[in-house]
Amino acid sequence: MQPKKFDVINLDPYPAQSDGAEQRRQRDIDALRTIAEDAMTDARTDSEIAREFISHGELGPKSMANTQKELFRFLTWCREEAGKSLRQLNVADLNGYKEFLKSPPQDWVSTTKWPRNDPRYRPFSGPLSDASRRQAMIAVKGLFAYATHTGYLRRDPAALVKHVKTASASRITRYLTSDALNLALSKAAAREATTPAAVRRRERDHFLLSAYIHTGARLNEIVSANMGALYTEGNGRWWLDVLGKGNKPRRLPVPPEMLAAFRQYRFAYGMTPHTVRSDDTPLVLSSRGEARVRITDEAASDALKAIFAEAASAADVMGDADMAATLRQASAHWLRHSMLTNHANNGVQLKTLQETAGHASIATTAAYLHKTDNERHDEILASVGTSKNST
């Protein structure tokens, strides 16, 4: 039977300890003859080498999930559009895929994110930005490099494909002012909630927004934490332990506003105001049902975007079109930029911000040291006025 266009391609990572290698070694004898005798892989198909690449130990959990998504798209394209296997692809084909990502055909697109095993599932929600195309091609180039290194492929055409160029900037511009953040917080706290689930969602989302505003943590760092990660050592200081890039632990100061939101959030879920360090209940819970289930990074991101949209509408009503436009563009990562930028402008030491952000290089943190455009505008005009008065 011919596969349907977007049938699931199994790209689940192999277990660290697996007896599947011996089973795979016994099948597809004909395919074995096409692979060099000194190959360092048991893979016999493109999907198998992709699974090996995903599970070879060099990718973190989030990178692994993103790579699965990108390689599913790519291998589906190989089958449905190029009609070729990895061994048959050339440089022109891969450059063609790079262009394909700019504007996937309509039958590849759905604005609703259906589960991958749903017949309505589509690989794309629309054209990819240059930054997303770059990440997609990094995953593809990584697969080809791995497949070549292990002997599954004899050559690596992807090595001759240039990375997608993206606009770069030395200064951080994706941030929200204190006024915009306060408006978003007030809208999140004042949401109408007529059912227990709606109350849980309101308090959860208010805490989520407060947590990102006050800690500057990365999206996954808070979503993957547990309740016991928010604690005090009895000296009046509260902390949140997170696991950053490279599995590096970091503890972040928790201010009173975030702690109050945390207590209210737990109360809405029928929990006591505080917990113990050993509590492994997910820190960010689904508002549906009684089971205490962790939400996904994507769900957390969508929840924050919904708050930003409500705050943008409120800014429009206030007549602040600039704030409204900024809020409509905002995402979860903007809150990380906002925390660092606002603290830098308020005189917090660069080294302190570097440690809080978990930046490997202080130069990365230094990119957040700048005034807002409105502040620079006002200072320049004030300086012009002073010069005129002194003449």
pLDDT-derived band at 209 (thresholds 50, 70, 90) equals very high
| Phi, psi angle pair for 310, to nearest 5° | -65, -40
- Rounded to whole angstroms, what are the CA distances from 216 to 206, 333, 357, 370? 15, 8, 7, 17
CB 137 within 8 A of CB 164: yes
pLDDT reported for residue 374: 59
What is the mean predicted confidence (pLDDT) over 335-344?
Answer: 85
pLDDT reported for residue 292: 86
Architecture of domain 20-160: Orthogonal Bundle (1.10)
Compute the distance between CA of residue 199 and CA of residue 269 in angstroms, rounded to an integer: 9
Among candidate residues 211, 221, 213, 208, the one with its CA nearest the CA of residue 300: 208
Q: Where are the alpha helices (DSSP H) in the chain?
A: 20-25, 29-32, 46-54, 61-77, 91-100, 130-149, 178-189, 196-215, 219-223, 256-268, 297-318, 321-329, 332-345, 350-357, 362-366, 373-390
- Model confidence over 14-37: pLDDT tens digits? 665 444 444 444 444 344 444 445
Among candidate residues 73, 83, 176, the one with its CA nearest the CA of residue 125: 73
What is residue 129's DSSP assignment?
A: P
Comma-separated ranges of CATH 1.10.150.130 domains in the chain: 20-160
pLDDT-derived band at 168 (thresholds 50, 70, 90) equals low
pLDDT reported for residue 358: 82
- What's the whole-number average pLDDT of the chain? 84
Q: Rg of the chain over CA atoms, in angstroms?
A: 25
Comma-separated ranges of CATH 1.10.443.10 domains in the chain: 178-375
- Model confidence over 297-325: pLDDT tens digits? 889 999 999 999 999 999 999 999 999 99
Structural element, H or E, at residue 250: strand 249-254
Compute the distance between CA of residue 228 and CA of residue 208 in angstroms, rounded to an integer: 16
Work out the percent of the chain whose per-residue pLDDT is above 90: 50
| Phi, psi angle pair for 214, to nearest 5° | -90, -20
pLDDT-derived band at 55 (thresholds 50, 70, 90) equals confident
Compute the distance between CA of residue 45 and CA of residue 141 in angstroms, rounded to an integer: 18
CB 19 within 8 A of CB 62: no
pLDDT reported for residue 369: 62
CATH of range 178-375; options 3.90.1150.10, 1.10.287.1080, 1.10.10.10, 1.10.443.10: 1.10.443.10
Among candidate residues 142, 156, 157, 163, the one with its CA nearest the CA of residue 64: 142
